[in-house]
Amino acid sequence: MPTLDAIDHKILRLLRTDGRMSNAKLAEEVGLSQSACLRRLHMLEHSGVIRGYTAIIEEPEVECPTVVVIQITLERQTEEFLNRFEAAVRKCPEVRECYLLSGMADYLLRVEARDAADYDRIHKEHLSRLPGVAHIQSSFTIRNVMRNGSQR
């Protein structure tokens, strides 16, 4: 992983708010020539600092999924338990994100469900069957306040 300087950090900050910003505009904002900015951008991509670009889709309210944030505590925190849990959670299509944590819980999951009944199905068919789980705590989100640095 390369050492990032202030210009690299500024490039990343700008791309977080507008991933489709043109190289000309990006170069102007960070004070570089277009060719120098493009070289830095390619370096950030090739080194894995920038892993990809995505579109954030505003779905109609009717289709907007219910987001459930789930804290998972395992029976043990051994490498075997962690590996088994992580391999199993990767197979759950409704789990959009999974983070290993420090603190009270071992993992934080972000799950998308159509509604509470759909989450009940996900809980019964997937979450309660994950290996090594001692405790599941689910919180339903009310609304999205901010995503990727932009207010909603």
Same domain for 111 and 79 = yes
On average, the pLDDT of the chain sits at: 89
The contacts of residue 131 (CB under 8 Å, 6+ apart) are 81, 84, 85, 88
Give the percent of the chain with pLDDT over 70.
Answer: 89
- pLDDT tier at 57 (50, 70, 90 boundaries)? low
Cα 142 to chain centroid distance, Å, stands at 19
- According to the per-residue pLDDT averaged within each range, which of 8-22, 60-74, 97-111 is highest? 97-111
Give the DSSP letter string of 9-51. HHHHHHHHH-TT--HHHHHHHHT--HHHHHHHHHHHHHTTSS-
Select the more confidently predicted residue: 122 or 2: 122
Q: Is residue 61 part of a domain?
A: no
Determine the pLDDT at residue 133. 95
Same domain for 85 and 28 = no
Three-state SS for 104?
coil
Same domain for 89 and 38 = no
| Cβ proximity of 70 and 127 under 8 Å | yes
Determine the pLDDT at residue 93. 86
Provide the strand spans (E) within 59-116: 66-74, 95-100, 107-113
- Tell me the mean pLDDT in the region 19-48: 94
- Tell me the mean pLDDT in the region 141-146: 83
The contacts of residue 120 (CB under 8 Å, 6+ apart) are none
Q: Which pTM was predicted? A: 0.63
| Cβ proximity of 15 and 30 under 8 Å | no
Please give the tally of structural domains in the chain.
2
| Domain interval for residue 77 | 66-142
* Cα–Cα nearest to 13, from 28, 26, 23: 26
Q: Is residue 93 part of a domain?
A: yes
- Tell me the mean pLDDT in the region 135-145: 91
Determine the pLDDT at residue 128. 93
Q: Residue 90: what are its φ and ψ, rounded to 5°?
A: -65, -20
CATH number, residue 41:
1.10.10.10
